[in-house]
Amino acid sequence: MVKFKYVNGTEFVSGDAHGNISRLPLVKEKFVLSNDEYITSVHGHYGKKLPVGHSPNSHGFSDSITMLKFETNKATYQVLGAETNGYEYVGTSFVLGEIGYKIVGFHGKSSTLDLGQIGVYVSPINNA
C-alpha cells in the first residue's frame, strides 16, 4: 500500500491509500522530507513475488508493483516490498525520474488488491 501526504501551499493534503498491504510482506516506512529535500527518483519492480519454485504462471499471483524505493537528494527510503527468504521476484525492474529534475507528483492505477501502475510528474531543480 502506498499513501502520500503533502503540503500544497498552506494546505495539508492526505491522499487515498492505494493497493493492499496484506499481499506482500509489510515494510512500513514513513518518511518526511526536510524543507531542502526532494525526491529525485523512484526505483521499483513490476511483476510477481513468488514462493521459490512456483511457476510465474501460477494462479493467484497477478502482476503488480512489488517493490518501491524513493531516492531523495539526501537519502533512500524503501516503502513497499522486502527481500524475504523463500520468495523471489519475477518481472521487470524500473526507475522513474530524470537527471536535473525533481519529482513533484505521482499518478497511477490501483485496485483493492494491488498497486498496478505508478508514474511521476517532474519539474527542473532550481539551484537558486
Q: Which triple of cell numbers denotes residue 102?
A: 525533481
Could you report the per-residue pLDDT of 89-110, keeping only the tens digit for each? Answer: 888 999 999 999 999 988 888 8
Tens of pLDDT, residues 49-98: 787 887 777 666 678 888 888 999 999 987 777 667 778 888 899 999 99
* pLDDT range class, residue 39, cuts 50, 70, 90: very high
- Give CA torsion, residues 74, 80, 83, 84, to 10 deg: 150
Q: What is the pTM of this model?
A: 0.76
Question: What is the grid cell recorded at 31?
Answer: 518518511
Could you tell me the domains of the chain?
Answer: 5-124 (2.100.10.30)
